[in-house]
Chain A
Amino acid sequence: MALKIVKGSIDRMFDKNLQDLVRGIRNHKEDEAKYISTCIDEIKQELKQDNIAVKANAVCKLTYLQMLGYDVSWAAFNIVEVMSSSKFTYKRIGYLAASQCFHESTDVIMLTTNQIRKDLSSPNQYDTGVALTGLSCFVTPDLARDLANDIMTLMSHTKPYIRKKAVLIMYKVFLKYPESLRPAFPRLKEKLEDPDPGVQSAAVNVICELARRNPKNYLSLAPLFFKLMTSSTNNWVLIKIIKLFGALTPLEPRLGKKLIEPLTNLIHSTSAMSLLYECVNTVIAGHDVNGSPFLPPFSLALFLFLRFQLCVQKLRILIEDSDQNLKYLGLLAMSKILKTHPKSVQSHKDLILQCLDDKDESIRLRALDLLYGMVSKKNLMEIVKKLMLHVDKAEGTTYRDELLTKIIDICSQSNYQYITNFEWYISILVELTRLEGTRHGHLIASQMLDVAIRVKAIRVFAVAQMATLLDNAHLMTGNVQRKGICEVLYAAAWICGEFSEHLENPMQTLEAMLRPKVATLPGHIQAVYVQNAAKLFATLLKNQEGNTDRTAAQETSQLMIDRLPLFVQSANLEVQERASCILQLVKYIQKLQQKDVEVAEEVIALFAGELNPVAPKAQKKVPVPEGLDLDAWINEPPSESESEDEQPKAIFAKEEPKHSRARHTEVDEKELAKRREARKQEQANNPFYIKASPSSQKVYQEAPGVEHIPVVQIDLSVPLKVPGLPMSDQYVKLEEERRQKERVEKKKKEKKKRKEKRGGRGKKHDSGPESEEDITPAHMVDIVTEEMPENALPSDDDDKDPNDPHKALDIDLDKPLADSEKLPVRSHRAAEALKSPAEDGDAESPASQEPKKKSSKEKREKKKDKDGDRKVSVKNGNPTRETALWMYIYGDKKSSKHKKKKQKREKEEKEKKKKKKHHHHHHHSDGGGEESVQNGTVEEEEPLPVSVCHQSFTEIDIQGNLQDGSQVVVSVIFENKCDNFLKTMEFNVLDSLNSKLQRPEGSGPHDGLSVPFQLPPGVSNEARFVFTMQSIVMPQKLKGTLTFIIKDSSTHEKLDFKLHFTCSSYLITTPCYSDAFAKLLESGDLKCSSVRLEGVNMPFHHLLARICFHHHFSVVERIDSCASMYSRSIQGHHVCLLVKTSGQTVSIDAKCDEPTLLGNVLDEIKQTFSQC
């Protein structure tokens, strides 16, 4: 065999190489373990030799054995030996073995540090490469700490091969040694613009992974990535970038706006499904956030909507694809949409139902998941009907059981929200009991119980159905396979007992419950039977004692006495105990009966009282009363405490909750009769319908209305599947009829209304498909809500996993490096960085965690900003001197008492008149208390003075932070867009009487603040400045300048700008309840003012959204074309609006305790709408 290629003289020294080993193992299939143990012995011998080639061969074999599952940890030291061989051949094998066998607890790893460092700096790039690869697998915190610097140096290696690996491995290093992130980050960022596409893509990979976990620290990179995205053609890179943007957009909605175009283009143009899928996913995820109650401005919403529709269409194409993978992913993405936009998915119901027929089970299950979220009141019955068909068809119990649970999940979700007809639901449940061999009898039973207990109106019907089930119980007990389903009898017996007053024929049911056959049921069910037989007995007694004929009552007692002894003999203790108790009780009753004593009242008192459902978490939520220490001893431990008479009743026996509105079944007689008729018809036509059992029929013929109980049709012979129309279908029909009728009535009413209104605006035609809200439940159902303790605590937050390694990487990367953490020397101009007051803000009001959106205001000298959505780099005439200044301003506000916000606006004025404005809004979901809520921004760009600046681009982001009513923090992100090094930057603002830039002590009122860093080309960094504001009732503008030096030319550059604070920007979106709002209006200390807007041509909700968005109001209440809105200033002024619209005229009546502020806000609102 040509396998053994001679490796010089060494070869003869060992007898087996890897190939021999593999072959040997394959030839010793029967005694593999024995063979391998001899091999391991040989390997041990080989490892003892000095020859490195022999050792390497042995290690190679060990690596193979390790894969087969053998423990090779004993050879760890030998692996290190081979790693440190100077020959690449062996080094490679050594590193491979190490990467496969070493893990964090391997102690010899400590020994490798120096070796790895040596290899990393080897002149041979493959030595370095192999060390990096190995390191990526077994890097430990110690290794990461010791080698971080070396690897960082390698990121700037001359060979792209090394740079690429070094960049990728940095991610692992960050995970193990988070302290390295900040020093290494600038270099990592540089690599985003590496000339080698492989290195670039590696850097994108790493930053994407980092940003996915802690997106907020990477927001400042957005422009850079945006550029990459529009220029890159590499799908792998694009996918990563899009994923990254997916993580950033929730924090920065302006990004979403910007991404629309490139993403839409990609979706249209790409042929790579993976990229398409990523785009669609990102759009969906982005839409999630933007679809939240705080509406984005209407133009954005529209854009998003269109883009979103496009995605849904694309998903449809995926699902229709013949490729199972695409189908699966399409459904998966659909389920994400479903969470936020059920309507968009509902229109594809046909497609999803089709998927239920797919041969791939995983696709069917996905489709089922989707159905769960797709149901509405309107389509629930239809969907469940389809599912029931599938239940019949399904082969294999696993899938059928899955269907069954899904049906129940679908119906019971959010407190039976979508069920309009509970009779239908009970019939569905009853139909499900006919499934053979299901494991979910328990589930069905608990549903039955739940519905019967919580939906009072359905009890009559449920009891009738359950009685039939009990009557036909033998069908469920006979077959061994049907064991699971007999759980249903548990529910049936309990319901019949508990609500026995609704039984049409209690005697028959009692007999059914006491049949000898019952003794074959599982113990816990028998126990319920016995107990509920007693309840039934009590009801019967009461009925019968009312009659003049006493014998009936005595017969009933006799029946009990005859049958109960069977249960007394039960092997099950529970059954036995209950049966003997009850037997004795009945015997005693019988005695009394014989003495003609009326006992019914007393017996029934045994079971009096109603059981109410208690919320599952109720107990946990009971707050510990003040002053009660649960850990303290009530009595001293040694003293034998007598158990006091506790009264648990006091805790649990609460009154019927008051909030369950008493809406009782008020079905009119006619309707009832009609339904009864329909049911009779159906039963008459159904050959399988049992007209109640003949024997009992004879005895209790006088019992009224028996025939209208819709008894489940059960074929007594063999198969349990019943052909013909199942019960539930009947209800589907009835329900449809009812809805039809309702619709007609509604239309009539509407017509009337319209006539009354003299047919004002004919726009509100409601003849379209009925909407969700139009469907009213068939019988007003009173769903008893679960009881909760009165002052239940808010639901518990889900904490992040403290073990998540990514948590440690939540590091602010924009903060300049401190000297202590700096690795490479970066000379900074000594300047005191301003403390950021935002950091010590503590989140007082939980409401402040809601995402807020704010936008900026208009300016006076403006141009239209119709296309303000996109960033356009403005070029002036001279191509060599093209300069642009981009500014973003975020208004960030935070306050100590109430969330206070402010918004800042910034402006730039140039000698040049050319100007463009950009409005951006900022959206920031505030995760914890320490973060600021960013809310507003203006972006502007215009050409720089052409004079001195050589092709320099400077980008500035300004963020504002407000700590209390009078302090504002503006964070400015400076980004150097030019090719020159910028240094000695100074930021200065001309103070006004009202607002002052806070300067360090000792500096004059006109001194600029030095920006505490320098800017190499393409780098951005952030600085913060604090302003003090006196009054907020007037808008104001501050002029400022930024001076800097371009390093090479050492010329001073100056940049003028304006900061603009509008009044709306001092408002904070504050939610307000309508009752509080009403009180506020009544209080009378608010001044009134109003404004009228003409020619506003937009839907009312867009209008509201605009006001909310631009002026930070929240809608308190909205009724038709009228809405009340509320907001609050950072200094606590209340602002209330009443917005009315008719035609194109909008009138706004406003009240505020500060008239000047109100006037200015209204002016600003007016301006907002004059521009659209």
Chain B
Amino acid sequence: MQFMLLFSRQGKLRLQKWYVPLSDKEKKKITRELVQTVLARKPKMCSFLEWRDLKVVYKRYASLYFCCAIEEQDNELITLEIIHRYVELLDKYFGSVCELDIIFNFEKAYFILDEFLLGGEAQETSKKTVLKAIEQADLLQEVRPHVVTLHFNSALFLIRLLRLN
């Protein structure tokens, strides 16, 4: 995987993780371009698109788009699985995760991602193990994470990302 981006329906970046060395300028350009392309797609379209020489796999959860760029030979379906797993992990960790959790605890979202993926490769496929590692690390930390219980004017943000069907 080359990079992962999380952005809102409004095109606001919520999380970015780059597994290839690029300059800030390039990163910004790619982000802008990709966010535009993905947002322009209709809801019923498939989750894959070819972009430059990469393949982009994205999925929308409530108001958030999760978007990964993979290489030519990589497997699109397993990338979707990675995205879904990450959302599940967030969900388990925050308890019914919503976009706001990620905004306010964005460092936590990163920590979870880092336990799940390393250098663009899945390092742990067991959700339990990932969460255990995070909990253990959190214990070492003096501050417990804040789970956002705030009520914000924008109701959109409280939609759970993971809606179980």
Cross-chain contact A243 with B73 (CB below 8 angstroms): yes
* Interchain CB contact (< 8 A) of B136 among A99, A126, A172: A126
Please name all residues of chain A whose beta carbon is closer than 8 Å to the beta carbon of B81 when the two chains form the complex: 274
Measured as residues with beta carbon below 8 angstroms from the partner, the interface class of chain B is: 35 or more
- CB-nearest residue of chain A to B114: A133
Type the 1/0 row for B35-48, where 1 means its CB is closer than 8 Å to any CB of A. Answer: 00000001011111
Please name all residues of chain B whose beta carbon is closer than 8 Å to the beta carbon of A325 when the two chains form the complex: 46-48, 76-77, 80
Cross-chain contact A169 with B78 (CB below 8 angstroms): no
Return B153 CB to nearest CB of chain A, in Å: 9
Cross-chain contact A171 with B77 (CB below 8 angstroms): no
- CB-nearest residue of chain B to A329: B76
Q: CA of A107 to CA of B19 in the docked complex: distance in angstroms?
A: 19
B165 interface hit (Cβ, 8 Å): no
Within 8 A of A (CB), among B5-49: 13-16, 18-19, 21-24, 28, 42, 44-49
B163 interface hit (Cβ, 8 Å): no
Return B107 CB to nearest CB of chain A, in Å: 6
Cross-chain contact B107 with A96 (CB below 8 angstroms): yes
Please name all residues of chain B whose beta carbon is closer than 8 Å to the beta carbon of A1 when the two chains form the complex: 150
Return A1142 CB to nearest CB of chain B, in Å: 48
Q: CA of A67 to CA of B12 in the docked complex: distance in angstroms?
A: 10
Cross-chain contact A5 with B144 (CB below 8 angstroms): yes
Q: Which of B61-69, B88-96, B122-130 contacts A (4 or more CB under 8 A)?
A: B122-130
22 chain-A/chain-B pairs, Cβ below 8 angstroms: A18-B107, A22-B103, A60-B107, A67-B16, A92-B137, A92-B141, A93-B107, A96-B110, A126-B133, A130-B137, A168-B119, A168-B123, A171-B121, A198-B125, A234-B125, A278-B75, A278-B78, A324-B46, A325-B48, A327-B46, A360-B42, A360-B46
Cross-chain contact A168 with B118 (CB below 8 angstroms): yes
B155 interface hit (Cβ, 8 Å): no
Cross-chain contact A329 with B77 (CB below 8 angstroms): yes
Cross-chain contact A5 with B146 (CB below 8 angstroms): yes
* Interchain CB contact (< 8 A) of B140 among A126, A169, A198: A126
A63 interface hit (Cβ, 8 Å): yes
Q: CA of A1139 to CA of B28 in the docked complex: distance in angstroms?
A: 66
Q: How many A residues face the partner with a CB closer than 8 A?
A: 73
A670 interface hit (Cβ, 8 Å): no
Type the 1/0 row for A1-12, where 1 means its CB is closer than 8 Å to any CB of B. Answer: 111010110000
Q: CA of A939 to CA of B90 in the docked complex: distance in angstroms?
A: 52
Please name all residues of chain B whose beta carbon is closer than 8 Å to the beta carbon of A7 when the two chains form the complex: 142-143
Cross-chain contact B24 with A64 (CB below 8 angstroms): no
A51 interface hit (Cβ, 8 Å): no
- CB-nearest residue of chain B to A273: B77
A416 interface hit (Cβ, 8 Å): no
- CB-nearest residue of chain A to B124: A198
Within 8 A of B (CB), among A179-202: 198, 201-202
Q: CA of A103 to CA of B20 in the docked complex: distance in angstroms?
A: 10
Return B55 CB to nearest CB of chain A, in Å: 9
Q: CA of A151 to CA of B48 in the docked complex: distance in angstroms?
A: 36
Please name all residues of chain A whose beta carbon is closer than 8 Å to the beta carbon of B124 when the two chains form the complex: 164, 198
Number of A-B residue pairs, CB cutoff 8 Å, is 156
Cross-chain contact B122 with A64 (CB below 8 angstroms): no
Please name all residues of chain B whose beta carbon is closer than 8 Å to the beta carbon of A67 when the two chains form the complex: 13-16, 106
Q: CA of A26 to CA of B100 in the docked complex: distance in angstroms?
A: 11
Extra pairs beyond A18-B104, A234-B125 (18, CB < 8 Å): A3-B146, A5-B144, A26-B152, A69-B13, A69-B28, A92-B111, A93-B107, A96-B107, A100-B110, A126-B133, A133-B118, A136-B119, A168-B123, A169-B119, A274-B75, A274-B80, A278-B75, A278-B78
Cross-chain contact A236 with B78 (CB below 8 angstroms): yes
Please name all residues of chain B whose beta carbon is closer than 8 Å to the beta carbon of A8 when the two chains form the complex: 142
Return B148 CB to nearest CB of chain A, in Å: 8
Please name all residues of chain A whose beta carbon is closer than 8 Å to the beta carbon of B110 when the two chains form the complex: 96, 100
Q: CA of A206 to CA of B121 in the docked complex: distance in angstroms?
A: 9
Return A909 CB to nearest CB of chain B, in Å: 44
Please name all residues of chain A whose beta carbon is closer than 8 Å to the beta carbon of B143 when the two chains form the complex: 5, 7, 89
Given the interface pairs A324-B44, A324-B45, the reply to whether A104 lies near B21 with Cβ below 8 Å is: yes
A735 interface hit (Cβ, 8 Å): no
Return B20 CB to nearest CB of chain A, in Å: 10
- CB-nearest residue of chain A to B41: A362
Q: CA of A212 to CA of B74 in the docked complex: distance in angstroms?
A: 11
Cross-chain contact B21 with A362 (CB below 8 angstroms): no
Q: CA of A168 to CA of B125 in the docked complex: distance in angstroms?
A: 14
Return A201 CB to nearest CB of chain B, in Å: 7
Cross-chain contact B75 with A137 (CB below 8 angstroms): no
Cross-chain contact A103 with B119 (CB below 8 angstroms): no
Type the 1/0 row for A56-76, where 1 means its CB is closer than 8 Å to any CB of B. Answer: 000010011001110101000
A87 interface hit (Cβ, 8 Å): yes
Cross-chain contact B78 with A89 (CB below 8 angstroms): no
Cross-chain contact A96 with B123 (CB below 8 angstroms): no
Q: Which 10 A-B pairs have the closest CB atoms?
A: A274-B77, A324-B46, A328-B46, A136-B119, A88-B140, A274-B78, A89-B141, A133-B114, A168-B118, A205-B121
Please name all residues of chain A whose beta carbon is closer than 8 Å to the beta carbon of B21 when the two chains form the complex: 103-104, 138
Please name all residues of chain A whose beta carbon is closer than 8 Å to the beta carbon of B125 when the two chains form the complex: 198, 201, 234, 236
Cross-chain contact B144 with A209 (CB below 8 angstroms): no
Chain B interface SS verdict (over half): mixed
Return A316 CB to nearest CB of chain B, in Å: 17
A359 interface hit (Cβ, 8 Å): yes
Please name all residues of chain B whose beta carbon is closer than 8 Å to the beta carbon of A69 when the two chains form the complex: 13, 28
Cross-chain contact A19 with B73 (CB below 8 angstroms): no
Given the interface pairs A104-B21, A243-B75, A362-B46, the reply to whether A236 lies near B122 with Cβ below 8 Å is: yes
Cross-chain contact B107 with A2 (CB below 8 angstroms): no
Cross-chain contact B24 with A329 (CB below 8 angstroms): no
A132 interface hit (Cβ, 8 Å): yes
Most buried by A among B115, B129, B133, B146: B146
A361 interface hit (Cβ, 8 Å): yes
Within 8 A of B (CB), among A768-788: none
Return B14 CB to nearest CB of chain A, in Å: 8
Please name all residues of chain A whose beta carbon is closer than 8 Å to the beta carbon of B142 when the two chains form the complex: 7-8, 87, 89
Please name all residues of chain B whose beta carbon is closer than 8 Å to the beta carbon of A327 when the two chains form the complex: 46
Please name all residues of chain A whose beta carbon is closer than 8 Å to the beta carbon of B149 when the two chains form the complex: 2
A506 interface hit (Cβ, 8 Å): no
Q: CA of A325 to CA of B46 in the docked complex: distance in angstroms?
A: 5
Cross-chain contact B24 with A103 (CB below 8 angstroms): yes
Please name all residues of chain B whose beta carbon is closer than 8 Å to the beta carbon of A137 when the two chains form the complex: 18-19, 119
Given the interface pairs A96-B110, A126-B136, A198-B124, the reply to whether A360 lies near B44 with Cβ below 8 Å is: yes
Return B26 CB to nearest CB of chain A, in Å: 10
A889 interface hit (Cβ, 8 Å): no
Q: CA of A138 to CA of B23 in the docked complex: distance in angstroms?
A: 12
Q: CA of A201 to CA of B46 in the docked complex: distance in angstroms?
A: 29
Return A572 CB to nearest CB of chain B, in Å: 39
Cross-chain contact A19 with B146 (CB below 8 angstroms): yes
Q: CA of A1065 to CA of B50 in the docked complex: distance in angstroms?
A: 47
Return B162 CB to nearest CB of chain A, in Å: 18
Cross-chain contact B44 with A169 (CB below 8 angstroms): no
Cross-chain contact B19 with A88 (CB below 8 angstroms): no
Cross-chain contact B78 with A161 (CB below 8 angstroms): no
* Interchain CB contact (< 8 A) of B122 among A71, A126, A205, A273: A205
Most buried by A among B21, B46, B119, B143: B119
* Interchain CB contact (< 8 A) of A198 among B19, B106, B129: B129
Please name all residues of chain A whose beta carbon is closer than 8 Å to the beta carbon of B136 when the two chains form the complex: 126
Please name all residues of chain B whose beta carbon is closer than 8 Å to the beta carbon of A281 when the two chains form the complex: 75
Type the 1/0 row for A857-891, where 1 means its CB is closer than 8 Å to any CB of B. Answer: 00000000000000000000000000000000000
Q: CA of A281 to CA of B149 in the docked complex: distance in angstroms?
A: 46
- CB-nearest residue of chain A to B140: A88
Cross-chain contact A363 with B46 (CB below 8 angstroms): yes
Return B130 CB to nearest CB of chain A, in Å: 10
- CB-nearest residue of chain A to B125: A236
- CB-nearest residue of chain B to A69: B28
Please name all residues of chain B whose beta carbon is closer than 8 Å to the beta carbon of A105 when the two chains form the complex: 23
A165 interface hit (Cβ, 8 Å): yes
A239 interface hit (Cβ, 8 Å): yes
Q: CA of A99 to CA of B122 in the docked complex: distance in angstroms?
A: 17
Return B48 CB to nearest CB of chain A, in Å: 6
